[in-house]
Amino acid sequence: MTKKPTKSQVRAQAVAERQRASDAAAKQRRNRVLLWGGLAVIVVIAIVVAIVASGGGDTANATKFETAPVKVSGTPLPDYNAEAASDPAIGETIPTLDGSSLGDGGPITIGPDTGNGEPQMIVFVAHWCPHCQNEVPLLVGLAKQGVFDGVQVSAVATSTSDQAPNYPPSAWLKKEKWPFPVLADSKTGTAAKAYGLSAFPYFVLVNPDGTVAGRGTGELPEEQIKANIEALKAGTDLPIASSSKSSSAS
């Protein structure tokens, strides 16, 4: 005959069962913490990998001259409209930009007199713009081919933000082996506004006398760039046409 447990035994068994339940619940909580902690680590790693892959957010390699004040002299150009039938800036003298060289802070000037009697091409790029990231290597390749021989080429790094991908612009352009001078625009885009920028990348082609020969935006294909540079050198009307592959400045 089974002996009936005493009251003290019943209480002890109940206490033991409550302890086992408490231990099981605590174990489940620890497992959940470990699971969510592991997921958090994975998410952080994924973010870091994405940033590294995009080349952005690398403030450690940034210099004091990723952006810098720009002084504008002369009349600003009207805003560029790629859909307009004609460009009101053609024939207008470009304003002079006095500022700092991207990355090293040396003095740099872009203006009607900096062509030294040669035509000019001024290209405005933003480090976070995927179309600029595609166009810069193409321009570097054309420079190696000698396409820009006889043309003064300069760039303006604008719309710079340490919160955007592919930062800093100085490291990006150095990586791409950009061979021409680069002016660092101000934090408020002083240079870009003075030249009527509306989208990236933005090209301003200038006659030897410092007047606008033509403007365009977007990823321009190699043959189109060559045709425009040839016309610029010859002093004839430019066939320049903007591309829909562009990043809006607004």
Mean pLDDT of 25-36: 59
Please tell me the predicted confidence (pLDDT) of residue 106.
Answer: 97
Higher pLDDT among residues 14 and 175, named by residue? 175
pLDDT at 46 over 50: no
Please tell me the predicted confidence (pLDDT) of residue 118.
Answer: 97
pLDDT at 103 over 90: yes
C-alpha to C-alpha distance for 37 and 39, rounded to whole angstroms:
5
Please tell me the predicted confidence (pLDDT) of residue 5.
Answer: 61
Please tell me the predicted confidence (pLDDT) of residue 9.
Answer: 58
pLDDT at 25 over 50: yes
Least confident window among 46-55, 64-73, 204-213, 219-228: 46-55
Higher pLDDT among residues 185 and 30, named by residue? 185
Strand partners, 211: 93
Least confident window among 38-47, 125-134, 227-236: 38-47
pLDDT at 47 over 50: no
Average pLDDT, the chain: 86
Please tell me the predicted confidence (pLDDT) of residue 42.
Answer: 42
CB burial string 190-227: b at 16+ within 10 A, e below:
bbbbbbbbbbbbbbbbbbbebebbbbbbbbbeeeebeb
pLDDT-derived band of residue 202, with 50, 70 and 90 as boundaries?
Answer: very high
Q: In this prediction, what percent of the chain has a pLDDT beyond 90?
A: 69
Please tell me the predicted confidence (pLDDT) of residue 14.
Answer: 58
Please tell me the predicted confidence (pLDDT) of residue 178.
Answer: 98
Q: Which amino acid is at 197?
A: L
pLDDT at 197 over 80: yes
pTM: 0.77
Preceding amide of 201 cis, omega within 30 = yes
Mean pLDDT of 112-134: 96
Which of 226, 202, 211 lies closest to 125 in space, CA to CA? Answer: 202
Chain position carrying tokens 């870091």: 48
